[in-house]
C-alpha cells in the first residue's frame, strides 16, 4: 500500500509541475509532441551518435577501473558496453541517481564481478564525473555568466568547489579504510556480531580494491575519459535542445551555447534530487528552467523546451538501454571471462531484468506509435468538416468598442467562416454592421485576401467538398468580384494566395513545393521559387514594391524568411509564422511563438533583423493568429481563440485593433461559436471635399 501511495504521489508531482510549465507557457503536451515529431531527423541522429559515443567512453573507463581494482578476467568490451547502456537507461528512469545501482547489479549478477569491485569502479567513476562537470561549469558557464550578468564569482567559488571535490575524493578513496579501522576498534563482543563481521569484511575488501585503483596508474586516463564523456554528452544534449527549441520556441534556439548548457546541467541536477517524480519529469524541467532564468531566459519558455529535450532524450536513451539489456540477456557469450566456472550466476537470465526489458520495449512502441499518430493526424488535419456554431449579435458594449476602433473610418472585413455549415466567405461592413455571405459553394473556401483596389477578393477553394487547411495540395485559386459577385478560376493546385502590389497578379504556393505568380487576366504563370530538398514553402506574401517574398518555411526546419527573388537568397528572420508585408511594404508583421497563451504579434524591419512585439491580448482571447494590416496602415484585424491551436476547428473569433491603442482596446467583431479564420480588412478612402465655388 505504501508503495502504491508513493507512486501516486510521484505521478501527481510530475503531472503538476509539467502542467504548470505548459499552462504558464500557453502550450499543451500535444503541441510539444507534435514539435518533436517534426524535428529534423539529423538532430535525432546526432544525439543518438553522441549517446553511443559517450557510452563507449564510459564503458572503457569502467573497464579500466575494474582492471585497476584487480579484476583479472574482465567482462568483454561488448558486454561492458551493454552494461553501460542499460545503466544509462536506469539512471534516467530512477530519481536521485538511484539508477547508478543498476551498474552494480548488472555486473555482479550478470557478469560475476565481486561486489567490492563493482562499487569501487562505480564510486570512482561517479567522482570523476563530478570533477569533469566542475571543469565544464567553471570554464564554459561560470566565466560567461559572470561577464553577462556582471557578477564576480572569482576565487571564493573556485575554492569552495575545490574543497567539495577534495572532500568527496577523500571520502571515496579513504573513507572505507577509515570505517574499517573504526569497526576494528570496537569491543570484541560487538565485532563478533554477524552483520558486523560481514560489514567489516566488505569494507576491508572495498578499501583494498580502492587502494589498488589508486596505485594502478590509471587515474590520468580515467580523468581524460571522464572529460570526454561529459563533453560528448553535453554536445549531444545541446544539439537536441537547439532542435527542440526550433520546433517549440525558435527564439531560444539562438541562445548562446553556455546558456543552453546551463539549463541542461541545472535539469540534470534537479533530476538527481530526491524529489518524488516519475522518470524525473517535473524536477528536470523545473530545475533547468529556474537555472536558465538566472541568465535572463524566460522560465516558462525554457521549461517547454527542456520538456521537449527531456522527452526526446529519454526516447533515445530507453531505446539504446533496452537494446543493451536485451543484448546482455540473450547473448550467446553470456558467461564472461571473469566469472569462475563454478559460478552459475554468470550469464544467467534474470526474470526481473527480462520484465524491465519487455516494459521498456512496450513503452517505446506505444510512445512511438502515439507520436506517429499525432504527426499523421496533424498533417492530414480533420477528416470531417467541423460543425457550425451558434450566432449571437453584438451588445452595446461591443458596438461602442467597435465604434472606437473604426473611428471616423468606413470599410469592411472579409473572412472564412463555418457559420453556414461549410467554410464560406463572409463580409462585415461598418458602420452598418451588416453581415453578408459572399460565397455558397459546397466546397471549402479559405484564406481570402482583398485586392489593392478593394474590388476583388482572391481565395483558395478546395477541390473536394471538405479539405483540411493543413492539406497543401487539394486547392485551386479563385477570384471573386465584389461588385458583380462573379467568381473566376485563375490557377489550379494552388493555396494561400495573396495579391501583388499592382493588383494584376496573384502569388500562391503549389503543394508547398513551388511559389507561383499568375496574371489574373491572362492566366500566365511564373515560378518565383522552385522546389528545394527538405523545404516546404507556405504563406507566401510578396513585397508590394516587388523583388522579395516573405514566407513561412516548414519541413526539416521551421522558420520564417525573406527571399530575394533576383538571386534566390533566403534570409532567416526567426521563428513563428505568417510573416507578411503590410500594405505599402513599410514593414512586416509576424506571429511569434511567445506571449500570453503562446502567441503574439510582432513588427519586423524590412531587413528582417529587428523584431519588436506590438500586440499581445491580456484577456481570455489571446491565442492570436491571422494578422492583417488595413490598407491605410491604421488597423489590424486578426483571429483569436481562448484555447486550442487547430485551425480547422478551434473557436477563433475575429477582432479589430487600432495600432496606436493599448491591446485591451481591441474590439470583437464576430460572435459565432464555430470556426472563423483568415480575416482581411479594407478601409474606404475618406470622401474628398468639393472645392468651394469662387466668388464672383
Read off the pLDDT band of 55 (50, 70, 90): very high
Read off the pLDDT band of 525 (50, 70, 90): very high
Round to whole Å and give the CA distance between 165 and 153: 18
Please state which of the ranges 180-189, 206-215, 665-674 shows the lowest mean pLDDT: 180-189
| Residue extents of the structural domains in the chain | 2-336+349-378, 396-470+545-683
The reported pLDDT for the residue numbered 72 is 82
Q: Are the beta carbons of 289 and 283 closer than 8 angstroms?
A: no
Overall average pLDDT of the 416-430 stretch: 95
The reported pLDDT for the residue numbered 89 is 86
Q: Are the beta carbons of 132 and 230 closer than 8 angstroms?
A: yes
Please state which of the ranges 189-198, 199-208, 489-498, 601-610 shows the lowest mean pLDDT: 189-198
More confident residue, 296 or 606: 606
Number of other CB atoms surrounding residue 335 within 10 Å: 17
Return all residues near 443 (Cβ < 8 A) that are at least 6 apart. 422, 461, 462, 463, 464, 465, 467
The architecture CATH gives domain 396-470+545-683:
6 Propeller (2.120)
Q: Where are the beta strands (DSSP E) in 139-222?
A: none
With cell 577501473, the residue in question is 65
The reported pLDDT for the residue numbered 346 is 41
Q: Where are the beta strands (DSSP E) in 487-641?
A: 487-491, 495-499, 505-510, 514-519, 525-529, 535-542, 548-555, 559-564, 570-574, 577-581, 588-592, 600-604, 611-615, 623-629, 635-641
Read off the pLDDT band of 36 (50, 70, 90): confident
Return all residues near 424 (Cβ < 8 A) that are at least 6 apart. 416, 417, 437, 438, 439, 440, 441, 445
Model confidence at 95: pLDDT above 70: no
For residue 36 the three cell numbers come to 518533436
Model confidence at 486: pLDDT above 60: yes
Model confidence at 144: pLDDT above 70: no
Rg, C-alpha atoms of the chain: 32
Largest CA distance in the chain: 134
DSSP 8-state secondary structure symbol assigned to residue 584: T
Overall average pLDDT of the 302-310 stretch: 92
What's the whole-number average pLDDT of the chain? 83
Q: What is the dihedral of CA 495, 501, 505, 510, to 10 degrees?
A: -20
Question: Model confidence over 323-365: pLDDT tens digits?
Answer: 888 888 776 444 444 444 434 444 444 444 554 555 555 555 5
Q: Are the beta carbons of 549 and 542 closer than 8 angstroms?
A: yes
Q: Are the beta carbons of 313 and 240 closer than 8 angstroms?
A: yes
pLDDT above 70: percentage of residues in the chain = 84
The reported pLDDT for the residue numbered 351 is 47
Number of other CB atoms surrounding residue 675 within 10 Å: 28
pLDDT above 90: percentage of residues in the chain = 40
DSSP 8-state secondary structure symbol assigned to residue 472: S
The reported pLDDT for the residue numbered 145 is 54
More confident residue, 528 or 41: 528
Model confidence at 99: pLDDT above 80: no
Round to whole Å and give the CA distance between 577 and 561: 9
The reported pLDDT for the residue numbered 598 is 76
Overall average pLDDT of the 593-607 stretch: 87
Round to whole Å and give the CA distance between 688 and 123: 86
The reported pLDDT for the residue numbered 97 is 64
With cell 493555396, the residue in question is 495
The reported pLDDT for the residue numbered 377 is 52
Amino acid at each position: 500500500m505504501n508503495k502504491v501511495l508513493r507512486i501516486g504521489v510521484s505521478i501527481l508531482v510530475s503531472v503538476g509541475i509539467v502542467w504548470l510549465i505548459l499552462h504558464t507557457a500557453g502550450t499543451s503536451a500535444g503541441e510539444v509532441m507534435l514539435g518533436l515529431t517534426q524535428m529534423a531527423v539529423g538532430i535525432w541522429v546526432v544525439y543518438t551518435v553522441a549517446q553511443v559515443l559517450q557510452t563507449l567512453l564510459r564503458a572503457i573507463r569502467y573497464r579500466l577501473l575494474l582492471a585497476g581494482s584487480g579484476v583479472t578476467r574482465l567482462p568483454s568490451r561488448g558486454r561492458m558496453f551493454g552494461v553501460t547502456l542499460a545503466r544509462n537507461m536506469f539512471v534516467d528512469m530512477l530519481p536521485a541517481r538511484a539508477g547508478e545501482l543498476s551498474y552494480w547489479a548488472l555486473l555482479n549478477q550478470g557478469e560475476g564481478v565481486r561486489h567490492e569491485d563493482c562499487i569501487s569502479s562505480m564510486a570512482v567513476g561517479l567522482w570523476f564525473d563530478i570533477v569533469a562537470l566542475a571543469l565544464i561549469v567553471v570554464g564554459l558557464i561560470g566565466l560567461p555568466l559572470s561577464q553577462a550578468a556582471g557578477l564576480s564569482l572569482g576565487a571564493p567559488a573556485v575554492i569552495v568547489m575545490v574543497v567539495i571535490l577534495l572532500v568527496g575524493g577523500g571520502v571515496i578513496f579513504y573513507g572505507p579504510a577509515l570505517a574499517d579501522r573504526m569497526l576494528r576498534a570496537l569491543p570484541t563482543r560487538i565485532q563478533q556480531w554477524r552483520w558486523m563481521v560481514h560489514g567489516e569484511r566488505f569494507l576491508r575488501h572495498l578499501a583494498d580494491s580502492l587502494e589498488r585503483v589508486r596505485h594502478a596508474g590509471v587515474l590520468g586516463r580515467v580523468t581524460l575519459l571522464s572529460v570526454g564523456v561529459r563533453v560528448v554528452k553535453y554536445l549531444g544534449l545541446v544539439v537536441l535542445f537547439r532542435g527542440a527549441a526550433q520546433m517549440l520556441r525558435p527564439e531560444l534556439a539562438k541562445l548562446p551555447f553556455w546558456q543552453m548548457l546551463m539549463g541542461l546541467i541545472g535539469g540534470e541536477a534537479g533530476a538527481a534530487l530526491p524529489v518524488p517524480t516519475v522518470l524525473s519529469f517535473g524536477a528536470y524541467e523545473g530545475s533547468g528552467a529556474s537555472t536558465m532564468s538566472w541568465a535572463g531566459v524566460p522560465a516558462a519558455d525554457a521549461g517547454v523546451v527542456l520538456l521537449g529535450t527531456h522527452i526526446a532524450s529519454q526516447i533515445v536513451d530507453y531505446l539504446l538501454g533496452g537494446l543493451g539489456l536485451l543484448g546482455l540477456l540473450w547473448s550467446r557469450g553470456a558467461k564472461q571471462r571473469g566469472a569462475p566456472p563454478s559460478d552459475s550466476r554468470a550469464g544467467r537470465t534474470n526474470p526481473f531484468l527480462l520484465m524491465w526489458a519487455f516494459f521498456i520495449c512496450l513503452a517505446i512502441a506505444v510512445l512511438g506509435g502515439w507520436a506517429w499518430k499525432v504527426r499523421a493526424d496533424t498533417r492530414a488535419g480533420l477528416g470531417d468538416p467541423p460543425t457550425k456554431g451558434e450566432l449571437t449579435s453584438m451588445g452595446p458594449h461591443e458596438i461602442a468598442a467597435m465604434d472606437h476602433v473604426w473611428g471616423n473610418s468606413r470599410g469592411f472585413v472579409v473572412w472564412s467562416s463555418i457559420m453556414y455549415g461549410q467554410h464560406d466567405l463572409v463580409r462585415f461592413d461598418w458602420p452598418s454592421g451588416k453581415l453578408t455571405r459572399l460565397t455558397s459553394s459546397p466546397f471549402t473556401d479559405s484564406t481570402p485576401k482583398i485586392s489593392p483596389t478593394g474590388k476583388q477578393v482572391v481565395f483558395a477553394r478546395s477541390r473536394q467538398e471538405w479539405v483540411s487547411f493543413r492539406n497543401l495540395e487539394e486547392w485551386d485559386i479563385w477570384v471573386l468580384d465584389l461588385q458583380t459577385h462573379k467568381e473566376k478560376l485563375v490557377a489550379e493546385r494552388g493555396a494561400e494566395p495573396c495579391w501583388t502590389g499592382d493588383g494584376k497578379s496573384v502569388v500562391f504556393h503549389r503543394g508547398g513545393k513551388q511559389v507561383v505568380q499568375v496574371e489574373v487576366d491572362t492566366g500566365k504563370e511564373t515560378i518565383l521559387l522552385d522546389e528545394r530538398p527538405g523545404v516546404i514553402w507556405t504563406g507566401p506574401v510578396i513585397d508590394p514594391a516587388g523583388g522579395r517574398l516573405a514566407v513561412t518555411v516548414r519541413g526539416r526546419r521551421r522558420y520564417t524568411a525573406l527571399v530575394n527573388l533576383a538571386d534566390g537568397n533566403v534570409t532567416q528572420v526567426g521563428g513563428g509564422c505568417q510573416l507578411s508585408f503590410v500594405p505599402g511594404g513599410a514593414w512586416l508583421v509576424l506571429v511569434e511563438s511567445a506571449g500570453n497563451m503562446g502567441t503574439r504579434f510582432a513588427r519586423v524591419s524590412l531587413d528582417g533583423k529587428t523584431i519588436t512585439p506590438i500586440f499581445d491580448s491580456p484577456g481570455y482571447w489571446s491565442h492570436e493568429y491571422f494578422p492583417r494590416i488595413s490598407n491605410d496602415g491604421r488597423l489590424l484585424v486578426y483571429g483569436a481563440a481562448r484555447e486550442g491551436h487547430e485551425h480547422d476547428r478551434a473557436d477563433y473569433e475575429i477582432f479589430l485593433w487600432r495600432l496606436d491603442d493599448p491591446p485591451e482596446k481591441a474590439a470583437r467583431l464576430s460572435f459565432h461559436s464555430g470556426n472563423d479564420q483568415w480575416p482581411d480588412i479594407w478601409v474606404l478612402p475618406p470622401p474628398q471635399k468639393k472645392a468651394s465655388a469662387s466668388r464672383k
